[in-house]
Amino acid sequence: MGEAAIRTIVEAIHSSPTQAVVYLSGGASLALGWLMSVPGASNTLLEAVVPYSRVSMVQLLGRVPSQHCSQGMAKEMALLAYNRALKLSKPGYPVLGIGFTGSLATSRPKRGDHRFFLSMRASNRIWESSVTLTKNLRSREEEDKVSSCALIQAMAKACQVSGTLDSGLTESEVPYESETHFTEEQELEQLINGHLTCKIYPFSGEAHGSDEYRKIILPGSFNPLHEGHLELLEVALRVCGGGYPCFEISAINADKPPLSVAQIKDRVKQFEAVGKTIIVSNQPYFYKKAELFPGSSFVIGADTAARLVDLKYYEGSYKRMLEILGDCKRTGCTFLVGGRNVDGVFKVLEDLDIPEEIIDICLKLSLSNPSLISQKNKIEINQELSYAGKPDLGVITAVYREWERCISLEEVKRLYVADFGSGRVDIMNPDQWYEHLHRRGMRSKEHCRVAWEEFKECANVCEL
């Protein structure tokens, strides 16, 4: 257990991409000193908590434990640490949750064994270890050093770092070790059941710009994912000046049944195909998403922004709504609000009744490309047209181009139509035009004919 050997293996841990949260109680305190005394500790250690008193442990667990020193306790602490690491880690990096609990030598003789339990949780596995020490063989400091070496050695293994530490255990002090692997399906079941807060699929590369810790998150159902979603996140990334772009799906819905594991996997495949990071969470409410990803920017539509301040999600309490969204504000979260249909009317941020206390966390997302707004509507219309045996929007676009030939280009450029509370729509732009028609209730039935009649009607009333 030489200092040089400890330093070498800790340096290797810090050189790995893994980031960790450590919860320990009753021993292994030297391990924290070793981790933090070697340069590069911030690459690895996200947080270290020592819930030593009974009250502190109760606050960590959210309950009164039946036994403080056990393998089950170490496992529970590791899971809490893992979920905490997901919240604090740099986007796209592997994380590790470490739980340790021990009953080592004290100032007075103990009736029970001197022992410690260690658990480490990664995304797809959990390592567990327990050691019973020979009583009266070592001092408290020596037992702490033994348990600290065991923690560092296990951490090195989890970080896929080579190297071995001599822990100082005797031949009779044989560690009991186990490793349990989880399939993707099991991980997702744990998420749906509430044991995991999220699962990250880091299909994309590194962050953009200088703020690599800031997540730029576009939530949605993505059924299906389309080009408009991809372009929208790109726009948000430029507005924020950089960050780590990712999409987010909630397996739990506030108003619908939860997604099945098969449904989640099918939707995740879409993001793997285009090389974009997707986060699957179990948080249906945006204020909960903000708690899960503090300091992030969320890309939402005006319809979602309206629900964000809807009192029905806050037990009907205006005060509670301000308190919860105020907490989001204090964690550094912002909401980028794009224009969307709300009850048949196209609305932007300025059209919404956002309380003054939280208006500064809502930023208007201006879209220079109208297709970002209308992609979903066009997909829905195409599905309806297909069911009705009608031409899809590609055919209608061709018809639209014929309309352009009916009048001169200069006249077409000047054709506008008043829209419901959102200014004017350029009917030369098919995306704006179809969005306008969709808002006016047009669906699949006689779609081409209605589009033609709409065009003629608007041509008669437009300003030339």
Domain CATH code at residue 27? 3.90.950.20
pTM for this one?
A: 0.78
Higher pLDDT, 98 or 413: 98
Residue 338 lies in a domain: yes
What is the spatial distance between Cα 339 and Cα 367, in angstroms, rounded to a whole number? Answer: 8
Phi, psi (deg, nearest 5) at residue 291: -65, -40
- Are 7 and 75 within one domain? yes
Q: What is the CATH number of the domain that holds 210?
A: 3.40.50
- Are 143 and 233 within one domain? no
pLDDT in tens, 278-310: 999 999 988 899 999 999 999 998 888 988 999
Are 317 and 309 in contact by the 8 Å Cβ rule? The answer is no
Are 449 and 462 in contact by the 8 Å Cβ rule? The answer is no
Confidence class of residue 449 from pLDDT cuts 50, 70 and 90? very low
- Are 248 and 268 within one domain? yes
- Are 261 and 136 within one domain? no
What is the spatial distance between Cα 261 and Cα 258, in angstroms, rounded to a whole number? Answer: 9
What is the spatial distance between Cα 11 and Cα 30, in angstroms, rounded to a whole number? Answer: 16
- Are 347 and 410 within one domain? no
What is the spatial distance between Cα 214 and Cα 201, in angstroms, rounded to a whole number? Answer: 17
Instruction: Find the range with the poorest average confidence among 133-137, 210-214, 257-261, 417-421.
Output: 417-421
* CA 41, chain centre distance (Å): 25
* CA 274, chain centre distance (Å): 18
Per the structure, the complete domain to which residue 158 belongs is given by 3-181
Residue 187 lies in a domain: no
The residue among 88, 119, 90, 87 whose CA lies nearest residue 102 is 119
pLDDT at 260 over 80: yes
Residue-level pLDDT at 226: 85
Write down which residue in 332, 364, 396 finishes a domain: 364
pLDDT at 406 over 80: no
Torsion angle, alpha carbons of 188, 194, 196, 198, to 10: 70
Strand arrangement, sheet containing 19-25: 45-49, 19-25, 95-103, 114-121, 125-133, 176-181
- Are 39 and 168 within one domain? yes
Count of structural domains, the chain: 3
- Are 235 and 131 within one domain? no
- The count of C-alpha atoms lying within 13 angstroms of the C-alpha of 22, restricted to the half-sphere facing its C-beta, is 26
Residue 32 lies in a domain: yes
Residue 186 lies in a domain: no
Q: Can you tell me the mean pLDDT for 242-262?
A: 92
pLDDT at 18 over 60: yes
Chain mean pLDDT for the chain: 83
Higher pLDDT, 384 or 123: 123
> Tell me, what amino acid is at 17?
P
